[in-house]
């Protein structure tokens, strides 16, 4: 059953890619994927928190008493989220403005807490980092893909550059909340079709 570190890393990219395979962390998925840039920003922020919290929780897994483990995880996760928030404010302020409340909300993102509870608390440090890195990169890719579809059709741009001619009428539905649900559903459907043997 023991997987190699590489396997732990790779599984986050396809077999357990969030939010498509692990259907978790949908709140930011639906809310911040209006553009590719926001999607990537959110993914990287979540990925950073995942790696750091997985590392620390795995290190402390024999120290943390099981009765108060959730409280300990929340402290660890909240600390790293605040670190991300401060760094974002200091270095990428426009991104911080467009992600807004969803940065502090990473604390309650099920993916982060889910990985801490399901993986890092039972595994050694190296596999835990690999797991966090894999899931984090997988999440970033998913959000970027979702953001790309929504931005291209919803605003006719990709990373802020127009992709269609001036006669293009933006499909505004895509950048609104219902568009996010429809888009996520369709992509999930495609993923399932592709994964079927």
Partner 1 sequence: MRELAKMVIVLTVLSSLSGGLLAMLREKTQDRIEQQVLEFVKGPAIRKILAGAANDPIADRFTLADGEAKRSFFVGKYDGKPDVVAFETFAGGYGGDVGLIVAVAVDTDQIVGVGVTTHNETPGVGAAVETDVGFIRQFTGLDIASGPKVTKDGGSINAISGATITSRAVCAAVGKAGDLYKRLKPEILKQLKTFSG
Q: Note the residues at the interface with partner 1 (CB under 8 A).
A: 60, 63-65, 67-68, 71-72, 75-76, 78-79, 82-83, 86-87, 89-91, 93-94, 97
Residue 99: CB minimum distance to partner 1, A: 14
> CA-to-CA distance for 147 and 155, rounded, in angstroms?
11
Q: Shortest distance, CB of residue 33 to partner 1, whole angstroms?
A: 20
Q: Between residues 86 and 182, which has the closer beta carbon with respect to partner 1?
A: 86
Q: How far is the CB of 168 from partner 1 (least distance, A)?
A: 22
Residue 55 or 143 with smaller CB distance to partner 1:
55
Q: Cβ of residue 195: shortest distance to partner 1, in angstroms?
A: 40
- Give whichever of 86 and 159 is closer to partner 1, judged by the CB atom: 86
Between 3 and 69, name the residue whose CB sits nearer to partner 1.
Answer: 69
To the nearest whole angstrom, how small is the minimum distance from the Cβ of residue 47 to partner 1? 19
Residue 159 dihedral angles phi and psi, to the nearest 5° = 55, 35
Nearer to partner 1, 44 or 84 (CB): 84
């Amino acid at each position: 059953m023991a997987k190699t570190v590489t396997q732990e890393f790779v599984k986050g990219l396809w077999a357990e890619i969030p939010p498509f395979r692990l259907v978790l962390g949908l709140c930011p998925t639906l809310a911040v994927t209006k553009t590719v840039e926001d999607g990537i920003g959110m993914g990287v922020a979540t990925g950073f928190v995942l790696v750091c919290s997985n590392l620390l929780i795995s290190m402390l897994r024999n120290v943390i008493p099981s009765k108060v483990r959730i409280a300990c995880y929340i402290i660890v996760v909240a600390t790293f989220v605040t670190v991300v928030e401060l760094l974002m404010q200091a270095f990428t302020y426009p991104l911080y403005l467009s992600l807004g409340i969803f940065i502090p909300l990473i604390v309650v993102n099920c993916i982060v807490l889910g990985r801490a509870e399901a993986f890092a608390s039972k595994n050694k440090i190296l596999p835990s980092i690999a797991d966090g890195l894999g899931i984090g990169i997988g999440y970033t890719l998913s959000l970027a893909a979702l953001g790309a579809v929504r931005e291209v059709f919803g605003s006719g741009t990709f990373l802020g550059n127009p992709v269609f001619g001036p006669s293009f009428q933006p499909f505004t539905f895509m950048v609104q909340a219902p568009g996010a649900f429809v888009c996520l559903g369709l992509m999930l459907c495609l993923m399932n079709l592709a994964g079927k043997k």
